[in-house]
Structure 1
Amino acid sequence: MKIALLGTGFGQAHAAVYAQRSDVDEVIVFGRTPEKLKNVQEQFGFATTTDLDALITDPSVDLVDVCLPTPLHAGVAVRAMEAGKDVLVELPLATTLEDAQRVIDTARATGRRVFVDMFSRFSAANEHLRDAVSDGRYGQLKHLEVEGRTALLWEGYHLGLDTLAMDMMHADFDLVTSLLGAPATLHVTSTEGPDGRGSAVDVVLGYPGATARCSSSSLMPKPYGMRGGYRATFTGAVLEHSMSTDFSGPGTGSLTAYAPDGEKPVELADTSPYAAMIGHVLDVLAGRTEENRITPSSALDALRLTLDVHHRLAA
């Protein structure tokens, strides 16, 4: 398999996974900055290019992995599909629901396969939570708190109020909507750092018989890295998950169940959700599995909520 990886920012996390895959024959990385491309080439040994059009239309490319700035996601995905490529799109899929639908319509018209990097669906802790809600092992979910905190780990990359919801909170909203659906009420509060590069947002979601809160901050100092997790309060127990990582994806995490009969650690598979997500994409493309778990249509509920919060922050 030959992969066109577009972007040298968060694309490095994808590059680190591809470099470990025996079923990936070649990766070519597109970027606009020669110095960043040189760093990627030295770190991973991948070929690089500054010619986006030539790479997308290269007939030997099987998969186009779009890790470009968010406003470019939908347009480049459509171009790649029209050039006969399957596509993996970094979060979020698009900046409007209309563009997201355009991606879905183009996939249907061209017959190409599209994957959205809903990496959090492959988190072992999130999968345990989904299973617990589905089978009712802890009773009814009453309150869900999801939190993410990060330093600005990517050079030149900002997470102010104009980008935080789209670039950081989308995956958390996907978890919430997959468990509780669309909220009946929505309340948003926020603050921004003195230079506008960092920000913090709290979102409170109301449901019949349940509540949820999503909190994100990019105001942390660089040594802090990236940390977060969730606390899920059921009628019969509490699940608490914590994790820490850096820009490359792999990190550490723990999950604990607190019930009337005591505190019990939950064993989690030691797998990076980014690696699992890319593994799923390659399995589908190779025919090792049929179901695409991260289709564009499955991302629409979370995208709708993300855009709602984003527009409120921009108002």
Structure 2
Amino acid sequence: MSEIKKIATRESYGNALVELGKEHDNLVVLDADLAGATKTSIFKNEFPDRHIDCGIAEANMMGIAAGLAATGKVPFASSFAMFAAGRAYEQVRNSIGYPHLNVKIGATHAGISVGEDGATHQCNEDIALMRTIPGMVVINPADDIEARAAVKAAFEYDGPVYLRFGRLAIPVINDNPDYKFEIGKGVSLKEGTDVTIVATGLCVNESLEAAKILETQGINAAVINIHTIKPIDKDIIVDAVKKTGKIVTVEEHSVVGGLGSAVCDVLCENMPAPVLKIGVNDVFGESGPALELIKKYGLDSESIAKKVKEWLNK
């Protein structure tokens, strides 16, 4: 069997920017002294005149991005999620969100899979923060193909977009001719009858693998990829619960304010149903190898399958 292709979505971000840069002269990339890590260095090498290193001053970078957007440019402001969503929150809210400017925020190194950088850099709160900003689109792609498609869709969308990317190389799962990316539209990856697993980001592949494990245990789980947390696809969630009656959400993010909370909002308003939220349980991360942390925090396929089975058996 051939080895599964794995690519970090931050790498996808850098490559997608170059492809778009070749077609659009108004695309500008900003970075906060992290071009090598965010992979915007790929764009910088190709278009040095359209890359601006703002230094370790993320809040100022967001202000510069807002100014560029006001002149008709399409800026992609890039940094670690902890700094883009955390440190610069006020500027994102007031300088980009409030005037609804056409700024794209490329936030890399999100979640506990940042690994050895530890709790201070493992941002598990960014989706929650960005969801609260009126008019902000929030996208968390599941693999290389989806990440590149998301960057293109963000460029074409008129308004602020938060794009969440990871450090860890993850399997490519959307390499099929039928794949189509559309902002606000979830993707059904597997049909099922007993429970629906709704996942986002790197947890999509782990959820697919968890569904295979559950299948061997007599549990038929559906799997849905929600790449756009906001606006969320209400129809696919409501249709899923009509079929299976139960929902499990899986995310590399806090269970407070992320995908699970967004799904619960939809169900409370449209079709109340039992929900199990799997994610980071209101704790900070810690330093360690990414794969070991994913397992320790219960986000690997075996842990997901075990939690789903235990919940269904209650």
Q: Name the TM-score class by shorter chain.
A: 0.3 to 0.5
- Normalized per residue, the structure richer in strand is 1
Larger helix share, 1 or 2: 2
TM-score by length of 2: 0.35
Give the TM-score normalised by the residue count of structure 1.
0.35
